[in-house]
A and B are shown apart, each in its own frame.
Chain A
Amino acid sequence: MRYRWTITLILFIVTGAVLINACKKTGAPVHQARPVDFVVPDGFPDPVYRFENNPLTEEGFALGRKLFYDGRLSKDNNFPCASCHQQFAAFATFDHPLSHGFNNQFTKRNAPGLFNMAWLKEMHWDGGINHIEVQPLAPITAPNEMAEDIGNIIAKLEQDGTYREMFRQAFGDEEITSQRMLLALTQFVASLVSADSKYDRVKKGLAVFNVSEQEGYRIFQAKCASCHTEPLFTDLSFRNTGLELNTYLMDYGRMEITNNPADSLKFKVPSLRNVALTGPYGHDGRFTGLSQAINHYAEGVAPSATLDPALTNGIPLDDVETFYLREFLFTLTDSSFIGNKRFAAPE
């Protein structure tokens, strides 16, 4: 008697398990891709990009990383993303006011460093890009950058068995689409998190500022933090800091996107993390060194209708204060970020 019940129970469990599994299989395709946690550093706000429709995985990241370093994403195969975004320069273009692109042309703007991108609501100096996933389409199709067509890229990648296999591992099958390419690139770019500078270690109580850095931090909080707000060191707004119009580039910044004259000459407040590595400075790279970029606030602010009200009289700074500010800004360099092998060119 009792053993019949046991059989019934076992039968029930086994069939149940089989059925439930069968049920699952007819739903979303099962990927073998291994999930990765996106870690939000202590003290950081919630990221804007949350990988909601693009689950972060080892395989997706690896594919994005390969794409980021692959010249085939450009027309003549010479200009991968990484040609302008170099890891040792915190993914800015090292020592170039403007970057080189296809056919010996220059970009219109200075290439920013790429880190903490998952926190940006809008990308590019003018905020023209409203979503990180579609950002790569801008450099890929721009005639002075990579000058390529996504259809051609897909055709090139389809020739390559390694890619087909990597798309399969990341997305479940070998199909290569623009969407999958963009999602993979996003997995890589959004994973570039920089939050391990000396400043961060001081905040965690793991290091201490020296006297000059401490003094620089005090000045920074008083005079700069209203726009370069911690912990991202940007408040993500667009402002005119009195850089005179570059009459060669004729770049009006935010207004080119909004058509609103009130946005004339406004540019995104850049993060100052890793700033020691990302020179030259300013949206067109007009300041060669950090001291020049800082001195601008004291001596170079040009009046105009849209100048930020906080800068009507500039920001008075003497040489000593500028020195301390620089000392502090150097503590924002994250050497573990620029040395992180995970972000380097794949072998």
Chain B
Amino acid sequence: MKGLSSYFFYLPYGACLAFLLLSCNRENSIEWERPADRGELKIVFQHVVKDAPLSFGDEYLNDWGERYNVHSFKYYIHDIQLISAEGDAVSVSSDYFLVDEGLPASKQLELSAPEGLYNAIVYTIGVDSARNVSGAQTGALDPTLGMFWTWNTGYVMAKLEGHSPASPGVNQEFSYHVGGFKWPYITIKQVMLLPPDTQAFEVSKKKLSTLNIRADVNAWFSYHIPIRIAENPASHAPGELAKKLADNYEGMFSVSSIKTE
């Protein structure tokens, strides 16, 4: 009896200890409840010109018969979501990714998404307006990555540079730095892409799902609005031309295939 009662004295102590330990844990973990199972999702960007793979320095033809080559091609992607079979948007990642033809690793995004059946993928091309006005950033948004205007604060959302005999510019260069987050020159674009056969695709923890997304450079010149290098060899500030280029490149993406393995 005496032995037992002496243990009772430590009861409140034990209870408090347990409570403290738990509350400590709770503070550090993001989700208190068990998170939904996630499966691996890989997004692979394939840069092409019509049906040919993009290769720096090779010559291509746009829809206006202008010959051109490319030496720089990059764009920001963020706020990646999947649309479930029920039509709900499910967030996959709110990170920023700078996809750069010059850095092969940047063309593959290794992500994870909640398990389920999905009908479409949605993401934003560019950098949202809040991030354009919040000062010094880091990571993919580090202003030293060559995607930031220093004299007129703001990110370059997408960049395409090359040479073309059609260009009246210096050294026959053409260079499109597209940005602008303020009305009326907003260039932030959200796209929704459906699978090729519009069949639902699956994300499961037992499999790796890969979405191959094709980006066709020729769309920059002609998807919605005709833009000829001969007339418009350069865009280096927010404005009418940048807006038209964004309206065009918004259409450059399509899902070419989906693999689950």
Contact = CB atoms under 8 A, between A and B. Distances in A.
Interface of A: 4-5, 8, 11-12, 15-16, 19-20, 22-23, 26-27, 53-54, 124, 128-134, 137-138, 140-142, 149-151, 177-179, 182-183, 186, 256-257, 259
Given A16-B20, A134-B136, A179-B136, 12 more contacts: A4-B6, A8-B12, A15-B20, A19-B17, A130-B132, A131-B135, A134-B150, A134-B153, A138-B150, A149-B144, A182-B136, A186-B135
Nearest to B137: A179
A26 B28 CA distance: 8
B144 A131 contact: no
Nearest to B138: A179
Contacts of B238: 259
B10 A132 contact: no
Contacts of B16: 12, 16
A131 B151 contact: no
A127 to B, nearest CB: 9
A133 B135 contact: yes
9 contacts: A8-B9, A15-B17, A19-B17, A19-B24, A26-B28, A131-B133, A131-B135, A182-B136, A256-B152
B143 A137 contact: yes
B221 interface: no
Contacts of A134: 135-136, 143, 148, 150, 153
Interface in B1-57: 6, 9-10, 12-13, 16-17, 20-21, 24, 27-28
Interface of B: 6, 9-10, 12-13, 16-17, 20-21, 24, 27-28, 132-138, 142-144, 148, 150-154, 185, 237-240
Contact of B13 (A11, A131, A140, A259): A11
Q: Which of A27, A54, A150 has the most CB of B within 10 A?
A: A150
A150 B151 CA distance: 15
Contacts of A19: 17, 20-21, 24
Contacts of B20: 15-16, 19-20
Contacts of B154: 130
Given A12-B13, A20-B20, A138-B151, A183 B136 contact: yes
A137 B148 contact: yes
A178 B136 contact: yes
Contacts of A137: 143, 148, 150
B6 A177 contact: no
B126 to A, nearest CB: 16
Contacts of B137: 179
A137 B137 CA distance: 12
A186 to B, nearest CB: 8
Contact of A142 (B6, B143, B148, B150): B150
